Chain A
């Protein structure tokens, strides 16, 4: 079946540094990918919609300069947390749509970011 892979699965960094998380669709092309974050005991919240070849669409309240999204190819989207702070520590998950519009949705394994 279709697989979406995220890397790294866990990352620990110092406050002030930037961290890049990759999301790859391994056996299909994804024109649209999504990024979510989950704080402990809270829901998965959609952060942004990543569109191949164009700018990402951010949800209300998500800082676009803080969370840089690049969808440079049909199989790769990256999320860069810039100048990370402890409050950015969270579980980040990506998903990719196979097909157009209401195509099937596949999720990555998630990436746990801890900022010291």
Chain B
């Protein structure tokens, strides 16, 4: 079956530091890959996505590249801000999946950014 593994948190950084949150996956074929973010007191929000190998998803300064050869989709940001403090979830949906509700999630990584 499908699975997603994220680096364990929590991750604590100073403002303007470089961020990497690792994500690797197991799935057959070419799944679509997602990063979701959950800010305190809010629901999960789609941060970025990539639907085929070598695609790069980007949003709000965050980037992730779909690497089929390493089955990875690491999240990066060059300079984090305090407002980026949140829980980040890596997720996938199987190739040919007809419903985005049937996502397979990683366990989430808590990011805390200090001024």
A interface residues with partner B (beta carbon < 8 Å): 3-4, 6, 9, 32-34, 36, 38, 41-46, 49, 93, 95, 97, 101-110
Contact = CB atoms under 8 A, between A and B. Distances in A.
Given A41-B107, A43-B4, A4 B43 contact: yes
Contacts of A109: 41-43
B43 A32 contact: no
Given A41-B107, A105-B46, A32 B101 contact: yes
Nearest to B105: A44
B45 interface: yes
A62 B93 CA distance: 20
Given A43-B108, A102-B98, 10 more contacts: A4-B43, A9-B41, A32-B101, A34-B101, A38-B108, A41-B8, A43-B104, A44-B105, A105-B103, A106-B43
Interface of B: 4, 8, 36, 38, 41-46, 89, 91, 97-108
Among B44, B91, B103: residue with most chain A CB under 10 A: B44
Given A41-B107, A44-B89, A108 B100 contact: no
B99 A101 contact: yes
A46 B102 contact: yes
Contacts of B100: 97, 102-105
A97 B107 contact: no
B41 A43 contact: no
A44 B91 CA distance: 10
A108 B41 CA distance: 10
Contacts of A45: 105
Among A43, A97, A101: residue with most chain B CB under 10 A: A43
Given A101-B98, A109-B41, A109-B42, A43 B106 contact: yes
Contacts of A95: 43-44, 101
7 contacts: A3-B43, A41-B8, A44-B103, A44-B105, A44-B108, A46-B103, A105-B103
A9 to B, nearest CB: 8
